Amino acid sequence: MKKSIISVLSAILLTQNLAYSSEVEYSGLVEVSGGTILGSDMFRAGGVQSGITIDEGMRDNSSSLMSIGAGMDATNDRFKFQLIGSYGKLVNGDLTSNVLKVDAAAYYIGSQTNKFGIGMHISSLSLFSPSWNGLANLSLQDSSAIVPGLAIFFGDELIVKATVDYVSGSKFIVNKQPVGVTLSSSTISVDGTMVQVALLYKF
Per-residue pLDDT at 18: 42
In a domain? residue 133: yes
Angle at 45 between CA 132 and CA 167, to 5 degrees: 60
Does the pLDDT at position 21 exceed 70? no
In a domain? residue 56: yes
Collapsing DSSP states into helix, strand and coil, what is residue 33? strand
Q: What is the dihedral of CA 180, 186, 191, 197, to 10 degrees?
A: 40
Per-residue pLDDT at 115: 87
In a domain? residue 190: yes
In a domain? residue 17: no
Q: Which domain holds residue 86?
A: 2-12+24-202
Does the pLDDT at position 201 exceed 50? yes
CATH of the domain at 198: 2.40.160.20
> DSSP letter string over 40-83?
----EEEEEETTEEEEEE-SSSEEEEEEEEEEEEEE-SSEEEEE
Per-residue pLDDT at 197: 98
In a domain? residue 18: no
Mean pLDDT of the chain: 88
In a domain? residue 19: no
Distance CA 63, CA 76 (A): 36
- Judged on CB neighbours under 10 Å (0-12, 13-18, 19+), 90 is buried
Report pLDDT digits (tens) over 155-186. 999 999 999 999 999 999 999 888 899 999 99
Per-residue pLDDT at 38: 92
In a domain? residue 108: yes
Distance CA 10, CA 99 (A): 24
Per-residue pLDDT at 98: 98
Report pLDDT digits (tens) over 58-99. 867 889 999 999 999 999 888 999 999 999 999 998 899 999
Distance CA 11, CA 70 (A): 21
User: For the chain, how many structural domains are there in total?
Assistant: 1
Per-residue pLDDT at 59: 66
Report pLDDT digits (tens) over 100-158. 999 999 999 976 677 899 999 999 999 999 999 999 989 999 999 999 999 999 999 99
pLDDT band at residue 23 under the 50/70/90 scheme: confident
